[in-house]
Amino acid sequence: MTNNTLRIENLELEVAGQKVLQALSMTIRPSEIHILMGPNGAGKSSLAKAIVGHPHYIPQRGHIIFDEQKVDPWTPDKRAQMGIFMAFQSPCEVEGVSVANFLRTAIRAYPHLQASQYTATQFYNHLYTLMDQVGLKRDFTGRELNRGFSGGEKKRLEMLQMLLFQPRLAILDEIDSSLDIEAFQIVVDTLHFLQKSCKTGFLIITHSISFIEQICPSRIHLLKFGRIVQSGGKELLARIQKFGFNEN
């Protein structure tokens, strides 16, 4: 019986000879939305990369546990197959790979999803429905992955992937940056849709107070110099809003 819970225990991470994360612990249960805030360079993106298994961000100490299993020996693709999804702060551009080919290949890694068994016609119909949902025009299917996409279009494609793959844990690194008002609402609606329909748990990295207010998070964590220095609810957000990061 799986329960999608992510548990991080006493994580320590050093990158290029610099301590980036220290004694970091956190638990995210199904359907919970956790916010990670903190100054530039605090270690937020590094934590996200460590969770998804980026080879340059392998922790020296501590454990990352998902569904009661240590993910440490798992490759990034195994972590993705187990339901851990990440939307990158700066999604990379891939020359020569079309959006449709990428998504159709990627969905086959998720045999438990009905969409992985679809014929080409069924898959495209499904894809077009989701593209309408995130406001991406259909001709994007033929474009090279993220190449020449505007900032907001890249973020919409990340949302499209999240809807398609229905992750059990989604890590969104500044998904709200570069979004217009319409896309901002799409992100909020998509989060709440997956939270309810798939019990997806979320770790959301953001600098935007208005985004946090709209998401209604379960918990907010403040990361400074690689350590979680405060965790709390709305009252912590109000303090950060009033005093900035320095008073916490």
Ligand X SMILES: Nc1ncnc2c1ncn2[C@@H]1O[C@H](COP(=O)(O)OP(=O)(O)OP(=O)(O)O)[C@@H](O)[C@H]1O
* 89-148 positions binding ligand X, by CB under 6 A: 89
| Cα 194 to Cα 31: distance, rounded to the nearest angstrom | 8
Give least dist CB 172 to ligand X, A.
13
- Residue 45 makes contact with Mg ion by CB under 5 A: yes
How far from the centroid of its chain's Cα atoms is residue 166's Cα? 12
Residue with smaller CB distance to ligand X, 40 or 197: 40
- Residue 206 makes contact with ligand X by CB under 6 A: no
Nearest partner of 165 among 122, 205, 107, 119, judged by Cα: 107
Residue 42 interaction partner, one of Mg ion, ligand X, none, beta carbon < 5-8 Å per kind = ligand X
User: Of the ranges 3-11, 18-26, 86-94, 151-159, which one interacts with Mg ion (CB under 5 A)?
Assistant: 86-94
| Cα 38 to Cα 43: distance, rounded to the nearest angstrom | 8
Nearest partner of 107 among 94, 123, 122, 92, judged by Cα: 123
Residue 40 interaction partner, one of ligand X, Mg ion, none, beta carbon < 5-8 Å per kind = ligand X
* 48-67 positions binding ligand X, by CB under 6 A: 56
Give least dist CB 43 to Mg ion, A.
9
- List of residues contacting Mg ion (CB under 5 A): 44-45, 89
- List of residues contacting ligand X (CB under 6 A): 15-16, 18, 20, 38, 40-46, 56, 89
